[in-house]
C-alpha cells in the first residue's frame, strides 16, 4: 500500500504533534500567576513563540517545494509534518490565547490561522480522495485520449446524421458545437453543465435551448425513432442514439474529472493568500503587543 501524506513513516509526525499538544497543555495548565491564563504570562509567551515558529516553518513549505536541490528532508516528509504540525497549531494557538477572543488584530490572526488550517484540511482530503476517483473516471485514458475519443465520436455522429433530415442535423450539430465541459470556475467546481443546442420550437422557428447533460438531445433523437419515415432511418437513429449516449457519458466523465481537479486546486486560493495574510497579521500581533506593552 502506497504511503500518503498522513501515513508517511507510519504517521511519525502525528505522534510528534500529539506530544506537542500534550506539552502545550501542561504548559497552559501551569499558568497560576496573578493573571491566570493569558497570552502575556511567561507560559503564554512561550506558547506564542512556539506557535510563531511553527507558522513560519509551515510557510516555508512553499519554498521547500520549489527547492529541488534542497537536502533538508524529502518533500514527502515536509508535507506530512506540515499537515500534522499545522493541525496541532489549533491547540497550541488556542492555549496561547487562553481562549480570550475579541474584535482585535490578535483574534483576527487566530481566525486567519484557523482558516488556513481548515482550508488545509480540505486540501488533505482532496489530495487523498480525488486522485483515485479521477483515475476511475478516466477509465485508463489520459485526458488527451479522452478528447481524441470525443472527437472520433463526433465524426461518427456527423457521418451518421448526414443522411437524416436537416432539422435534426441542425439540432445535433448545434448541440455538439455548444457542448460545455468547463464554463466558469464556479461551473467547474459545481460540475455545472451549460450546454445548449438549437432546436425547432414552433413550425420552422428555431430557438437556443438548454441541453444539460446532453439528455434533451438524446430525448429528441429517441422520440424521432417511432416517427421515422424511411426504412433506413430507424437504424440510423438508433446508431445516432448509441453514439450520443456514449458521448454523453464521456462528456460527463470529463466534466466531473475537471471538477475534481478544480477542487484539488481551489483550496490553495484560500490557503496560500491567507497564509501570507496570516504572516502579516502575526507580525502586527507581535509588534502591537509590545508597542502597547
Nearer to other proteins, 80 or 97 (CB): 97
Residue of 177, 190, 219, 230 that binds other proteins (CB under 8 A): 177
User: How many Å apart are CA 79 and CA 84, to the nearest integer?
Assistant: 9
Nearer to other proteins, 223 or 283 (CB): 283
Q: What is the separation of C-alpha 260 from the centre of its chain, rounded to a whole number of angstroms?
A: 6
Q: Residue 38 interacts with other proteins (CB under 8 A)? A: yes
Residue 116 near residue 275, CB atoms below 8 Å: yes
Alpha-carbon distance values, 76 to 3, 50, 82 (Å): 9, 23, 10
Q: Residue 198 interacts with other proteins (CB under 8 A)? A: yes
Q: Residue 254 interacts with other proteins (CB under 8 A)? A: yes
User: How many Å apart are CA 274 and CA 62, to the nearest integer?
Assistant: 13
3-state helix, strand, coil in the chain (%, to 5): 75, 5, 25
Residue of 1, 36, 140, 227 that binds other proteins (CB under 8 A): 36
Span from 1-9, 63-71, 162-170, 236-244 in contact with other proteins (CB under 8 A):
162-170
Span from 116-124, 133-141, 182-190, 229-237 in contact with other proteins (CB under 8 A):
182-190
Q: How many CB atoms lie within 10 A of CB 103?
A: 7
What is the 8-class DSSP label of residue 104? S
Q: Return the half-sphere exposure (C-beta side, CA atoms, 13 A cut-off) of residue 169.
A: 9
Q: Residue 51 interacts with other proteins (CB under 8 A)? A: no
Residue of 65, 133, 159, 273 that binds other proteins (CB under 8 A): 273
Which parts of this chain interact with other proteins (CB under 8 A)?
32-36, 38-40, 98, 100, 102-106, 108, 143, 146-147, 150-151, 154, 166, 169-170, 173-174, 177-182, 185, 188-189, 194-196, 198, 204-208, 254, 258, 261-262, 265-266, 268-269, 272-277, 279-281, 284, 287-293
Amino acid at each position: 500500500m502506497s504511503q500518503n501524506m498522513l501515513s508517511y513513516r507510519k504517521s511519525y509526525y502525528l505522534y510528534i504533534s500529539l506530544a506537542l499538544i500534550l506539552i502545550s497543555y501542561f504548559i497552559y495548565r501551569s499558568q497560576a500567576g496573578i493573571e491566570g491564563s493569558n497570552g502575556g504570562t511567561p507560559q503564554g509567551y512561550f506558547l506564542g513563540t512556539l506557535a510563531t515558529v511553527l507558522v513560519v516553518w509551515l510557510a516555508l513549505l512553499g519554498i521547500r517545494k520549489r527547492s529541488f536541490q534542497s537536502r533538508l528532508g524529502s518533500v514527502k516528509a515536509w508535507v506530512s509534518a506540515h499537515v500534522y504540525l499545522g493541525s496541532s497549531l489549533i491547540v497550541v494557538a488556542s492555549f496561547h490565547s487562553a481562549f480570550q477572543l475579541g474584535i482585535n488584530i490578535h483574534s483576527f490572526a487566530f481566525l486567519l490561522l484557523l482558516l488556513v488550517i481548515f482550508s488545509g484540511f480540505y486540501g488533505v482530503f482532496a489530495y487523498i480522495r480525488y486522485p483515485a476517483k479521477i483515475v476511475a473516471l478516466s477509465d485508463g485514458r489520459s485526458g488527451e485520449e479522452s478528447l481524441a475519443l470525443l472527437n472520433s465520436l463526433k465524426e461518427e455522429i456527423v457521418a451518421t446524421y448526414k443522411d437524416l433530415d436537416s432539422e435534426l442535423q441542425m439540432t445535433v450539430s448545434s448541440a455538439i458545437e455548444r457542448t460545455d465541459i468547463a464554463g466558469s470556475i464556479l461551473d467547474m467546481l459545481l460540475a455545472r453543465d451549460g450546454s445548449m443546442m438549437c432546436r425547432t420550437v414552433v413550425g420552422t422557428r428555431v430557438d437556443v435551448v438548454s441541453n444539460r447533460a446532453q439528455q434533451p438531445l438524446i430525448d429528441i433523437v429517441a422520440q424521432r425513432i417511432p416517427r421515422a419515415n424511411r426504412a433506413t432511418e430507424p437504424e440510423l437513429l438508433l446508431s445516432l442514439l448509441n453514439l450520443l449516449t456514449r458521448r454523453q457519458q464521456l462528456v460527463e466523465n470529463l466534466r466531473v474529472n475537471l471538477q475534481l481537479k478544480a477542487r484539488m486546486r481551489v483550496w490553495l486560493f484560500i490557503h496560500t493568500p491567507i497564509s501570507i495574510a496570516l504572516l502579516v497579521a502575526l507580525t502586527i500581533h507581535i509588534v502591537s503587543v509590545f508597542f502597547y506593552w
